Amino acid sequence: MVLCPHCQSAAAIRTSEQQTRLVRELLLLCSNDACGFRFVGQIVAVRTIQPSYAPHPAISLPLVVRSRPANDDAPIPANDERAPAADVEPMP
């Protein structure tokens, strides 16, 4: 979801157009009728999480190595009797 930079309401994508292989431009409209802000935003590919199996020679994005921080020990509260939740990676 894209938020309106003025009132922080959700903004709807009205149209979009591919600018380059890495950039798509969006025309957005704030859903708050009292605001009415219309603006242009961009979706830009900036990093690689999983390299392509069909890479284009012109595309080179830095590879992000996803690793856990050195201290990822989250103490379990003393009053929490539930089993620890499954370890799930956040969505990219």
Binding residue for Zn ion (CB under 5 A) from 2, 12, 27, 35?
A: 35
Q: Please give the structure tokens belonging to residue 75.
A: 């103490």
- Closest to Zn ion by CB, 22 or 35: 35
Q: Please give the structure tokens belonging to residue 80.
A: 């929490």
Cα(56)–Cα(59) distance, rounded to whole angstroms? 6
32 binds Zn ion (CB under 5 A): yes
Residue 53 has, within 13 A of its CA and on its CB side, a CA count of: 0
Q: Which stretch binds Zn ion (CB under 5 A): 22-30, 40-48, 49-57, 65-73?
A: 22-30
Binding residue for Zn ion (CB under 5 A) from 2, 7, 22, 43?
A: 7
Please report, as ranges, the residues that interact with Zn ion according to CB under 5 A: 4, 6-7, 9, 30, 32, 35, 37
